[in-house]
Structure 1
């Protein structure tokens, strides 16, 4: 496992070591001990979630607030997504900045999104299966959502807005300036 820093404080790309032969491949998707050793961060996860979406589905920008904040380790198991993390921690040197990465079944990369960040992704292939490991349990009352097209964030989602498919919640999200996190 290799850990690569992103431009955002405490947000990391995790690249697995892949062993391939004529039978296929094997890789260790996550190792808590190695993760903590390489990042100095807690890598204990308590909930795994999987979503399947079609081309153009944009999920985000989501977060859990307060004591229910979640760090996430995300990956794409099938297809391709454009994944983004937004630093919403007001005391952070990278507050209000975002980072995007293409996660695919082929590249097997993962993104560690720390607590206090917003997270979202957009599906770039016909379908995609997406995996989230979370270090805290989901709590509906602690949900937060920032507008995907907020001009203050100016996120490039890699597809045109006319092709995006959004939930009602994501369509009604708060602006970055209105945030209540």
Structure 2
């Protein structure tokens, strides 16, 4: 299991996290120029960057975004877990009703379950979307790796592979 280092190369504090379905490794308030190293399994992972706070200089208002936390991860896990369970129950109940030649009952039982599954999937997909700076899919290799969160003209905030000198 390699060490993965994330470097904040933008001019603001950020929250960063690696996901296996839900955030599993994170660092909140990574300061500009600061490095964070974590030990990860060699898997395909999702990476997300959230802004930490924003200032409206006209009004003086300061907004703070949601930090990554154990409770946030568990809530996200429950949302997607419930959606998966409802979707599975929808398919199983439809198959059972079809096998019993009770086709009329499929929309009555299976339809609401699938609606719950769709609503849970939509909530999971939009989770904290209003505070995301960027996301990326990364394959964690079997060796140590460095990534940089930086701004690229025309692309905005991106995850940069420092070792390969390429955008992820």
TM-score category (smaller protein): under 0.3
Larger Rg: 2
Scaled by the length of structure 1, the TM-score of the pair is 0.26
Scaled by the length of structure 2, the TM-score of the pair is 0.27
